[in-house]
């Protein structure tokens, strides 16, 4: 989707801009508690659970923690694969690259440009699909409600960069194209 008449109007350096990086990390702390509440309500209302609680002792924690961390690592891998799949879906010629920088996994398609709608889908698809997957797993009793709430909340909180990128797109009026190169989000416009 190359458009030679479009010019670069804004670059967002998401990892090296200290203000953005720090702000997103601070906001994510508050989002975590919001998502704990939200996904608890999902568990209570949608899944028909009247109430739930948990108690855990040290031995249970030692047993549970490796499985939880392995599961969460798998969720992160699936998250990035979803980004890559949607990037490829919207641009067959895109060269998808996966990486890890400053503690953040990422996927990028340098040189590929996407419309606002396409890039919004690329940003938000992992949040939506993984939430649906976790909901299905708890509904089928393959994971506990506690694991669902904790994993869904941690994943949703980890999506803060994706939410931020999706919001950025709507800051720019008119027709835009978006290119994501490692940690720099580039916005092009024909204005």
- pLDDT tens for residues 153-163? 999 999 999 99
Is residue 163 in some structural domain?
Answer: yes
How far apart CA 31 and CA 160 sit, in angstroms, is 9
Is residue 59 in some structural domain?
Answer: no
Is residue 54 in some structural domain?
Answer: no
* pTM for the model: 0.86
pLDDT for the residue 160: 94
Write out the two tokens for 167: 């919001």
184, 14 contact by CB (below 8 A): yes
Q: How far is C-alpha 44 from the geometric centre of its chain's CA atoms?
A: 24
Is residue 60 in some structural domain?
Answer: no
For residue 13, give the 3-state DSSP assignment: strand
Is residue 151 in some structural domain?
Answer: yes
* For residue 96, pLDDT beyond 80: yes
The residue count for the chain: 191
Is residue 17 in some structural domain?
Answer: yes
How far apart CA 109 and CA 124 sit, in angstroms, is 16
Write out the two tokens for 21: 């990086």
pLDDT for the residue 90: 97
How far apart CA 96 and CA 85 sit, in angstroms, is 9
Q: Write the CB contacts of 168 (distance below 8 Å, at least 6 apart in sequence).
A: 12, 185, 187
Is residue 121 in some structural domain?
Answer: yes
* For residue 2, pLDDT beyond 80: no
Within 13 Å and on the Cβ side, how many CA atoms surround 71? 19
151, 134 contact by CB (below 8 A): yes
Q: Residue 78: which of 159, 13, 161, 15 has the closest Cα?
A: 159
Distance spanning both ends of the chain, measured CA to CA: 17
Is residue 52 in some structural domain?
Answer: no
How many domains does the chain fold into? 1
Domain that holds residue 152: 7-47+65-189
Rg of the chain over all Cα atoms, to the nearest angstrom: 19
Write out the two tokens for 80: 């990035």
Convert the pLDDT of each residue in 20-79 to its tens digit.
889 999 999 999 999 999 998 888 877 676 666 666 677 877 888 888 888 888 889 999
Query: DSSP secondary-structure letter at 175?
Result: S
């Amino acid at each position: 989707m190359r458009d030679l008449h479009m010019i670069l109007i804004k670059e967002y350096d998401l990892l090296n801009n200290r203000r953005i990086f720090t702000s997103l990390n601070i906001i994510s702390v508050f989002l975590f508690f919001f998502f704990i509440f939200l996904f608890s309500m999902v568990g209570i209302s949608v899944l028909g659970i009247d109430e739930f609680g948990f108690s855990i002792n040290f031995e249970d924690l030692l047993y549970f923690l490796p499985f939880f961390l392995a599961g969460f690592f798998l969720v992160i891998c699936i998250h990035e694969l979803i980004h890559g799949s949607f990037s490829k879906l919207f641009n067959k010629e895109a060269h998808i690259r996966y990486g890890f920088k400053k503690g953040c996994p990422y996927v990028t398609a340098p040189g590929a440009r996407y419309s606002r709608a396409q890039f919004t889908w690329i940003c938000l698809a992992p949040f939506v699909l993984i939430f649906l997957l976790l909901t299905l797993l708890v509904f089928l009793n393959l994971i506990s409600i506690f694991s669902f709430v904790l994993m869904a909340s941690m994943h949703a909180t980890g999506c803060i960069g994706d939410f931020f990128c999706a919001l950025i797109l709507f800051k720019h009026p008119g027709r835009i194209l978006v290119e994501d190169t490692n940690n720099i989000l580039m916005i092009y416009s024909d204005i």
